Amino acid sequence: MVQVIPGTTTKTIASKQICQFFEQTPSQNGVFYTGYPIIGTANGAFPIDSILLSPTYGIVIINLIEGKDKDGYEDLQDESYNKMEAKLKNYKELTDKKNLIVPISVVTFAPAIHSITENSTDADYPIYTQDTIGKIFDDLSTTVKSNSMEEEDFKKVVSVVQSISTVRKNTSARKTTKSDSRGTILKGIEDSIANLDVHQSRAVIETVDGVQRIRGLAGSGKTVILALKAAYLHAQHPDWKIAVTFNTRALKNQIKEFISTFYIEQTNQYPDWDNLNIIHAWGAPGGGEKDGLYYQFCKAQDINTYKDFRSASLNFGYENAFEGACREALQNMSTPVGKYDVILVDEAQDFSKYFFRICYNLIKRDKRLVYAYDELQSLTGNNLPSPEKLFGKDEAGRPLVKFDPVNYPSQDIVLETCYRNPRPILVTAHALGFGIYRDEDSRIGTGLVQMFDNKDLWEEVGYNNESGTIDYGKPVLLKRGIDSSPRFLENHSPVDDLIVFKKFADGHSQANWLIKEIKKNLEKDELLPKDIIVINPDPKSTKDAVGYARKELFSMGINSHIAGVSTSPDEFYSDNSVTFTGIYRAKGNEAAMVYVINAQDCFKSLGGLQTVRNRLFTAITRSKAWVRVIGVGNDMEGLISEYEKVKSHDFTLDFTYPTEEQLQKIKLINRDMSEAEKNQVIKVNEDIGNVVSSLNSGRINIKDISEEQRIALIQLAKQLNGEE
């Protein structure tokens, strides 16, 4: 069937009708776009009205006429053909000597014209009405010279038309001499990840006059998609004010590079950065790089509630600083001030509902807001609520945002295919992140650390339940298929090389092993420094934790840096330098070889187990080829034990889905706690321990405890035993 992906266009009626035609044509294959692509020319952007990419017919450009005036349609067909041919001939892989490997056809669709006589048109310039469009495939069969494109050739054509080929390509100079080195393997992987799939294409191109949500696993392309969507909207609507925002400052340059590459390839021009802002979420006075959406909101409201991180931390606590600042600003809001036509939010799982409401109030009338997230990558321990709860209610008590999945499926797009992580790495990250094979917690009756609120989400993100339907309290066996986890991502290396878990006696031994391995990666494996990331899960200890290793590497002539510390906060990678980083700056970035050090810190935690497990998940899923998870002590032994169970289950998730009661206990027991709450829990446990010890040893008699306290203890004991 033809996958129909409608984009933004001024020819709304003709566009809607041609989409309906292809949606009702199940006998054909391919991808059909409206409002896409945009071709860069010497005179700027040249938008294509609509296009069919077909393995049978090649490229079919369909120009649209919105009204009844068809004058000059022949010239437009010629121009469309010439612009497309010129674009494609820039790509050597699409040519055979002087000829393109793909046929190009151009036709016109004019649904408002009721009849067109054969004598009034030129056979070389086909034009169809609502009544005659059904003949298009019969006509193409007689005019297209070749109707048997090879699958690989068709993929190349799709890649070029999507303009994703240069965005995905690693621009670093990679010279390899060994056919089996990691560097050579990496080249092959990068060349294979060329095309956007249909879900990604839809997320980039389909535009909603309202709120749009994009959900996907780590490595499903969310950051690339948001960048391409911003560039696409900017090309189609250069007068719109567009903002792209994010939580991790180290993503800024990467997002800017994606947008620039895509926009230049589409339009042959540079973006207008006055209208397309890549802007921090927080911000500060001073303008330029310091600007941020929260600061703009405070400034637009003319309120004196702006707080920097220091003052917000003092008022609302270190962990809740930004949430508290946003909440206070909203409480003092007078009138919403629309500044942007579109706001796109990456890493949405790390923002509170108050920041989303600030964004909502910064958007003009149509409220075009796009947010992308992966709930398991939340480093705050919070899950995003539904759109209805996220954006709040109007004065009449009605939700400001409500999704309609039946009539408007593009409001909520789920990306099920992972194009970064090999399947064993992704499944291992999920198993450890959720605690699938963790020893049972007797208070809950399961070892699970967390679980999706929506049990069907497992299948939406690419897992198949081999046991049938996922249901509460029932066994499940979740497995990733080849569609959701392409096998070329893992077939290049044996499993025991894709993933290594290793325990050391102490931190010094861990660091020495790390140094030796990095040296080997650079000298023998033919990897580049930018191919290596070393991640410390604890964001507060990174500088001290990596100091010795960096010093020793430097003595060997190997440069390294701590992202955002020894470089600009907006930079993550640095030329000819290995990246060391804490977990927060690692988010959204990737590398071929990832080292997760001090992983033992993610095994257990009082008040925040979900958070530390999410840190481990996020760190592991930065890898697009190989990962090494290393640490010290008994807790590292515990992680290794969990990994061995994942491996023995052939990288599937085999567990009993928690009951609804267990889900509530999982959230309660593994919840995040403030330091004060943790201290209170520790103190209460110590006090109870002292009481029990004193009673058992005879230091005090049960009669020494007041009747009121004894009754309270009995009631508590009954509750603990589930009697009440």
* Cβ neighbours of residue 582 closer than 8 Å, sequence gap 6 or more: 535, 536, 537, 538, 539, 540, 542, 563
Give the whole-angstrom CA distance, residue 423 versus residue 481.
9
Q: Do 447 and 464 meet the contact criterion of CB atoms below 8 Å apart?
A: no
* DSSP assigned state of 149: -
How much of the chain exceeds pLDDT 70, in percent?
Answer: 91
More confident residue, 720 or 95: 95
Q: What is the pLDDT of residue 692?
A: 75
Give the whole-angstrom CA distance, residue 675 versus residue 24.
59
- Among 273-282, 297-306, 549-558, which stretch is predicted with the lowest mean pLDDT? 297-306
Neighbours of 196 (CB within 10 A): 25
The helix/strand/coil state of 387 is: helix
Give the whole-angstrom CA distance, residue 232 versus residue 205.
7
- Among 60-64, 82-86, 252-256, which stretch is predicted with the lowest mean pLDDT? 252-256
Task: Give the bridge partners for 181, in sequence order.
Answer: none
User: Between the CA atoms of 654, 656, 661 and 667, what dihedral angle is there, to the nearest 10 degrees?
Assistant: -20
Task: Give the bridge partners for 38, in sequence order.
Answer: 47
Give the whole-angstrom CA distance, residue 586 versus residue 27.
46
Using alpha carbons, select from 594, 600, 570 the residue that is nearest to residue 580.
Answer: 594
Q: Is residue 377 scored above 80 in pLDDT?
A: no
* Six-digit token string for 721: 């035993």
Q: Do 143 and 204 meet the contact criterion of CB atoms below 8 Å apart?
A: no
Q: What is the pLDDT of residue 119?
A: 47
**Type of residue at 197:** D
Q: What is the pLDDT of residue 376?
A: 63
Give the whole-angstrom CA distance, residue 319 versus residue 635.
25
Q: Strands, DSSP E only, in 43-98?
A: 44-47, 50-54, 58-64, 95-96
Q: What is the mean pLDDT of residues 111-125?
A: 75
Q: What is the mean pLDDT of residues 300-322?
A: 88
* DSSP assigned state of 529: G
Q: Is residue 647 scored above 90 in pLDDT?
A: yes
Tell me: the pLDDT tens digits for 144-173?
Answer: 865 567 888 888 888 888 766 555 555 455
Question: E strand or H helix at 430, and its extent?
Answer: helix 423-434
Q: Is residue 109 scored above 90 in pLDDT?
A: yes
**Type of residue at 631:** G
Q: What is the pLDDT of residue 687?
A: 65
Angle 457-459-463 from CA coordinates, rounded to 5°: 125
Tell me: the pLDDT tens digits for 379-429?
Answer: 455 567 889 999 999 889 999 999 887 667 688 888 888 889 999 999 999
Give the whole-angstrom CA distance, residue 628 versus residue 477.
26
- Among 218-232, 289-303, 522-536, 682-696, which stretch is predicted with the lowest mean pLDDT? 682-696
Q: How many residues appear in the chain?
A: 724
Q: Is residue 644 scored above 90 in pLDDT?
A: yes
Place of tokens 């990496």: 186
- Among 85-89, 115-119, 453-457, 498-502, which stretch is predicted with the lowest mean pLDDT? 115-119
* Cβ neighbours of residue 328 closer than 8 Å, sequence gap 6 or more: 305, 307, 315
Task: Give the bridge partners for 33, in sequence order.
Answer: 5, 51
Q: Do 64 and 11 meet the contact criterion of CB atoms below 8 Å apart?
A: yes
Using alpha carbons, select from 529, 574, 525 the residue that is nearest to residue 556.
Answer: 529
Q: Strands, DSSP E only, in 297-346?
A: 340-345
Using alpha carbons, select from 312, 309, 311 the residue that is nearest to residue 290.
Answer: 309
Give the whole-angstrom CA distance, residue 633 versus residue 504.
7
Give the whole-angstrom CA distance, residue 494 versus residue 496.
5
Q: What is the pLDDT of residue 724?
A: 47
| Average pLDDT across the chain, whole number | 88
Res. 121 pLDDT band, cuts 50 70 90:
low
* Six-digit token string for 296: 């703009």
Q: What is the pLDDT of residue 598?
A: 97
